[in-house]
């Protein structure tokens, strides 16, 4: 408890000092509403996280912070809108691995580059995924899955929310590591993917922790393991895939806030400090947990490094599997 209080006091001091800088010669920031562009439709876990962050920032910054949904093309539509916005701190972009790591490497005609068009602000949280199997599939361990897949290459199917999605790449990495061949069945979004595994139309899927835990309670699916390098705090009894036989395997989705390239550093630091302060609260942890998100936070440099590492990690899989998406739609 003492360490938590010390951390919160330190964050508060940083917020106050940065606020003084932002109110200096370059004028008071913010003096008008801020928008967070969310590149997906309303209603999902990412959208809920953005709205929770917006509400917290509205109070802390004493200005309205609104969420603007711009769905389409696996998040690329919203990303391009954010990238072309003024670099003044009044536009933020809620990004994930799909928008800021995968899309630029699989979409031939995409018109933004994450490292060239965005300033990292802060990572909001990590989203470990759970490998789930349909009810009745006689696979309860890594060895059973591997042996069954090797005995009948391409027979076991897996569903994802689209070609080139992080779920597709995570399965591709699993195939490579285990030396197996699975059959990819892409859907238009997470909801139809989950419906397909529940209906027995596909054998496997990667699901959000919150959905997997709730659905596994009545035996509708079986949870094999989480994809994160460590067990999820949201499902501590579920082993990692590394623990059950896929040694060293790790694949995570994340959510983070970025700003258009060129946004002044003092504004980036102010926003970073406020979001970190919010993430340290029990309220934030509760709000994010509902969407299967584990709060992370950190500095802009840490986010930049995480993005850079993921670009290299998934870029290798994309090239090896020659994964391409024809165009923006």
Say whether the peptide bond before residue 133 is cis (omega within 30 degrees of 0): no
Check whether residue 33 and residue 114 sit in a common domain: yes
Residue 49 counted as domain residue: yes
Alpha-carbon distance 42 to 54, whole Å? 14
Query: With contact defined as beta carbons under 8 Å apart, do 46 and 70 qualify?
Result: no
- Do 281 and 203 share a structural domain? no
Flag whether 244 is in a domain. Answer: no
**6 plus 114 within the same structural domain:** yes
CATH of the domain at 59: 3.40.190.150
Q: Is residue 239 domain-resident? A: no
Q: Are residues 188 and 273 in the same domain?
A: no
Query: Is residue 38 domain-resident?
Result: yes
Indicate if 115 and 27 belong to the same structural domain: yes
Residues 15 and 119 occupy one common structural domain: yes
On whether both 9 and 119 belong to a single domain, the answer is yes
pLDDT band at 58 (very low <50, low <70, confident <90, very high): very high
Clarify whether residues 273 and 290 are in a common domain: yes
Say yes or no to pLDDT of 64 above 60: yes
Residue 13 has pLDDT above 60, yes or no: no
The total of other beta-carbon atoms located within 10 Å of residue 158's CB is 25
Q: What domain range is 192 assigned to?
A: 128-226
Both 25 and 133 in a single domain?
Answer: no
122 and 11 within one domain:
yes
Instruction: Note whether 51 and 106 are same-domain residues.
Output: yes
Is position 51 within any domain?
yes
> Measured between alpha carbons, how far is 162 from 18 in angstroms, rounded to an integer?
41
pLDDT in tens, 265-295: 999 999 999 999 999 999 999 999 988 899 9
Phi first, then psi: what are they for 162, rounded to 5°?
140, 155
* Among candidate residues 226, 241, 264, the one where a domain is terminated: 226
Total structural domains within the chain:
2
pLDDT in tens, 187-218: 888 889 999 999 999 999 999 898 999 999 99
pLDDT at 234: 85
- In this structure, is residue 247 part of a structural domain? no
pTM of the model: 0.86
Q: Is 198 exposed, middle or buried (0-12, 13-18, 19+ CB in 10 A)?
A: middle
Structural domain contains residue 328: no
Q: How many Cα atoms are found within 13 Å in the side-chain-facing hemisphere of 20?
A: 5
> Smallest Cα–Cα separation from 127: which of 33, 10, 232?
232
Same domain for 76 and 36: yes
Question: How many CB atoms are closer than 10 A to CB 247?
Answer: 10
CATH assignment of the domain containing 213:
3.40.190.10
Of the candidates 161, 144, 236, 163, the one whose C-alpha atom is nearest the C-alpha of residue 206 is 161
Instruction: Tell which wins on pLDDT, 1 or 125.
Output: 125
Determine, yes or no, domain membership for 199: yes
Beta bridge partners of 131: 206, 225
């Amino acid at each position: 408890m003492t360490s938590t209080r010390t951390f919160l006091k330190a964050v508060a001091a940083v917020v106050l000092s940065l606020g003084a800088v932002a109110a200096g010669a370059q004028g008071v920031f913010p003096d008008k509403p801020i928008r967070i562009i969310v590149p997906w439709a309303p209603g999902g876990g990412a959208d809920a996280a953005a709205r929770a962050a917006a509400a917290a920032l509205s109070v802390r910054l004493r200005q309205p912070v609104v969420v603007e949904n711009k769905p389409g093309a696996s998040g690329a539509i919203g990303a391009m809108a954010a990238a072309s916005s003024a670099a003044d701190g009044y536009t933020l972009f809620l990004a994930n691995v799909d928008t800021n790591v995968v899309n630029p490497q699989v979409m031939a005609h995409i018109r933004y580059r994450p490292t060239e068009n965005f300033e990292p602000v802060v990572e909001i949280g990590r989203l470990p995924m759970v490998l789930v199997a349909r009810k009745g599939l006689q696979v309860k361990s890594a060895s059973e899955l591997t042996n069954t897949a090797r005995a009948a290459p391409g027979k076991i199917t897996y569903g994802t929310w689209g070609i080139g999605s992080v779920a597709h790449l995570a399965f591709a990495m699993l195939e490579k590591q285990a030396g197996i061949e699975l059959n990819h069945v892409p859907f238009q979004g997470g909801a139809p993917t989950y419906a397909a595994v529940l209906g027995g139309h596909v054998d496997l899927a990667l699901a959000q922790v919150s959905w997997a835990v709730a659905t596994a309670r009545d035996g509708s699916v079986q949870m094999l393991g989480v994809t994160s390098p460590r067990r999820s705090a949201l499902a501590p009894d579920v082993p990692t895939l590394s623990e059950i036989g896929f040694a060293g395997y790790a694949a995570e989705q994340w959510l983070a806030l970025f700003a258009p390239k060129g946004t002044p550093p003092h504004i980036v630091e102010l926003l970073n400090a406020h979001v970190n302060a919010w993430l340290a609260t029990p309220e934030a942890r509760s709000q994010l947990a509902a969407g299967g998100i584990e709060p992370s936070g950190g500095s802009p440099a840490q986010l930049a490094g995480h993005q850079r590492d993921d670009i290299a990690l998934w870029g290798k899989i994309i090239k090896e599997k020659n994964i391409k998406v024809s165009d923006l739609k």
